[in-house]
């Protein structure tokens, strides 16, 4: 994909994805491999952590330790030498590798904080896993992955609007679409931001279009081809993406 999006960023280029980051980590440079682990953990730790909590019934702290250990093992093992982006999407690779990692007792026991009491990778704050016992682990992983993609896209949308001095556009979008259904209408949004209802309609149209473009870019980081991108968007968001 070579055309520019309307998201205010650079064009999406599939070689500049997290798949490529994984492939580039096939190196003896320890520092580079560590940076790859940190980048992947920073982007995907929440879905991995959630899956561990649900699939293996782990406590908060144990799940965070296992999440850290998993990303380090993924970089340190021979996984990268066997990873083939033509055989699937990044989400599938991470799930398969995670199941393998967690089913191995020896590796599971070795996940804790190599080198002392400080965690080897910095993860974000803990969060509550919704309904951990009520759904299949695979469904929880997909839902958490979807939530992470949406959260990252929303943050990028806000950054883009702020750079352009159009903060109200973003706030209108967040107020209307991020509220509970039926909680707020055009008139209330217009009054809140001292704009007209026509402005609200125009801002929402622009923001929704841009959000969809940003979200597509975010998901594109996890695939290598247009077909994989289309399949992943459909799997995560159905026939009508946000």
**Cα dihedral 210, 213, 215, 219 in deg (nearest 10):** -170
- What integer pLDDT is reported at residue 82 of this predicted model? 66
- What integer pLDDT is reported at residue 80 of this predicted model? 62
* Among 16-25, 55-64, 89-98, 100-109, the least confident range: 16-25
Percent of the chain with pLDDT over 90: 35
CA distance 113 to 68: 8
Whether the predicted pLDDT of 192 surpasses 70: yes
Long-range pairs for 135-140: beta carbons < 8 A, 24 or more residues apart: 135/54, 137/51, 137/54, 137/55, 138/95, 140/50, 140/51, 140/54, 140/55
Whether the predicted pLDDT of 188 surpasses 90: yes
CA distance 183 to 205: 19
Does residue 2 or residue 186 have the better pLDDT? 186
pLDDT digits (tens, 9 = 90+) for 97-149: 888 888 875 555 555 444 444 455 566 665 566 555 567 888 889 999 999 99
Give the highest mean pLDDT range of 28-32, 75-79, 139-143.
139-143
Does residue 86 or residue 56 have the better pLDDT? 56
pLDDT interval class at 239 (50, 70, 90) = confident
CA distances from 61 to 49, 82, 102, 105, 228 (A): 10, 31, 15, 18, 34
Average pLDDT, the chain: 79
Whether the predicted pLDDT of 206 surpasses 90: yes
- What integer pLDDT is reported at residue 36 of this predicted model? 76
- What integer pLDDT is reported at residue 176 of this predicted model? 93
- What integer pLDDT is reported at residue 200 of this predicted model? 96
CA distance 68 to 49: 9
pLDDT digits (tens, 9 = 90+) for 84-101: 666 668 888 888 888 888
* Among 156-165, 188-197, 198-207, 218-227, the least confident range: 218-227
Does residue 33 or residue 140 have the better pLDDT? 140
- What integer pLDDT is reported at residue 215 of this predicted model? 96
Give the highest mean pLDDT range of 34-43, 60-69, 102-111, 161-170.
161-170
Local structure of 81: helix, strand or coil:
helix
Cβ contacts of 188 within 8 Å, gap of 6 or more: none
CA distances from 189 to 176, 185, 242 (A): 7, 6, 20
- What integer pLDDT is reported at residue 28 of this predicted model? 65
């Amino acid at each position: 994909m070579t055309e520019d999006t309307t998201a205010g960023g650079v064009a999406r280029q599939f070689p500049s994805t997290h798949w490529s980051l994984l492939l580039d980590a096939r190196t003896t440079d320890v520092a580079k491999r560590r940076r790859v682990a940190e980048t992947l953990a920073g982007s995907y730790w929440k879905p991995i952590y959630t899956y561990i909590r649900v699939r293996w019934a782990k406590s908060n702290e144990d799940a965070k330790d296992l999440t850290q250990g998993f990303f380090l093992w993924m970089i340190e093992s021979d996984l990268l030498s066997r990873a083939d982006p033509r055989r699937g999407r990044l989400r599938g690779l991470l799930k398969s590798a995670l199941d393998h990692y967690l089913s191995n007792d020896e590796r599971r026991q070795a996940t804790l904080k190599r080198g002392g009491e400080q965690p080897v990778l910095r993860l974000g704050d803990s969060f509550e896993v919704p309904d951990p016992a009520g759904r299949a682990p695979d469904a929880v992983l997909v839902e958490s992955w979807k939530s992470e993609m949406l959260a990252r896209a929303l943050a990028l949308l806000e950054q883009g609007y702020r750079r352009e001095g159009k903060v109200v556009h973003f706030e209108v979008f967040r107020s209307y679409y991020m509220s509970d259904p039926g909680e707020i209408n055009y008139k209330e949004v217009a009054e809140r931001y001292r704009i007209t209802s026509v402005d609200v309609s125009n801002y929402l149209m622009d923001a929704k279009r841009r959000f969809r473009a940003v979200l597509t870019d975010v998901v594109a980081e996890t695939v290598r081809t247009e077909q994989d991108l289309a399949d992943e968007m459909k799997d995560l968001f159905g026939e009508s993406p946000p």
